[in-house]
Amino acid sequence: MSISTRTGDQGQTGLLYGQRVPKDHPQIEALGACDELNVAIGLARAAGGRAGVLLPIQHDLVALMGELACAQSDAPRYLESKFKKLEADALSRVDFAAAELEARGLRFDGWATPGAGPLAAALDQARVVARRAERHLVGLPAHAGRTPRPVVLAYINRLSDLLWLLAREAEQDLLPPAS
């Protein structure tokens, strides 16, 4: 089986369960942003980010993308399938990690200026990709008739907050001591 099917040569791609849509369809844009987010988080992990936090997030994103890869009319079929789905426990995990970081009293002054170090920059890059993915997801009902479940929207929103906190954590050792 070849990865090059040539079925997209005319500018269309397939959703899960076979429906074809243009490659610039809003649902494909949302999927692409989530895929970019997964790669950005992988880069942060490769740069020394906390694998125990980041790797489960990458698995969550794969589940989220699976759900987004089907048309609204196929959403009930997907939810009944054996495919892994994003569930409330994933959201709880993100909330717990954010609360742990906030409890540590991370230092930051005003708006963050990314680039203090490679890991912090990679995490900030992942954060802005998460926000872009969120904007695409929020627009899906109006632009594509596809309504993500509330847990999907909450997860992406809170994930970007967690990524911001992880970036500030990565900067802590690079900042001068507090006076």
Domains, the chain, with CATH or none: 25-98+114-171 (1.20.1200.10)
pLDDT of residue 10: 81
Mean pLDDT of 58-69: 97
Query: Shortest CA distance to 35 belongs to which of 15, 11, 61, 53?
Result: 61
What is residue 168's three-state secondary structure? helix
Please give the Cα distance from 138 to 169 (Å, whole number): 29
Higher pLDDT, 25 or 110: 25
Assessment of whether the complete model's pTM goes beyond 0.85: yes
Structure tokens at 38: 């997964």
pLDDT of residue 153: 98
pLDDT of residue 1: 78
In a 13 Å sphere around the CA of 119, the CA atoms on its Cβ side amount to 18
How many residues would you count in the chain?
A: 179
Q: Going along 83-169, which residue ranges are E strands?
A: none
Q: Using an 8 Å Cβ cutoff, are 138 and 153 in contact?
A: yes
How many angstroms separate the first and last alpha carbons of the chain? 62
**Mean pLDDT rounded to a whole number for the chain:** 93
CA angle 138, 15, 155 (to 5 degrees): 35
Q: What percent of the chain has pLDDT over 70?
A: 96
Q: What percent of the chain has pLDDT over 90?
A: 82
Mean pLDDT of 67-93: 96
For 105, other C-beta atoms within 10 Å of its C-beta total 6
Q: Report the DSSP beta bridge partners of residue 22.
A: 12
When pLDDT is cut at 50, 70 and 90, the band that residue 179 belongs to is low
Phi, psi of 12 (to 5 degrees): -120, 160
Mean pLDDT of 129-148: 96
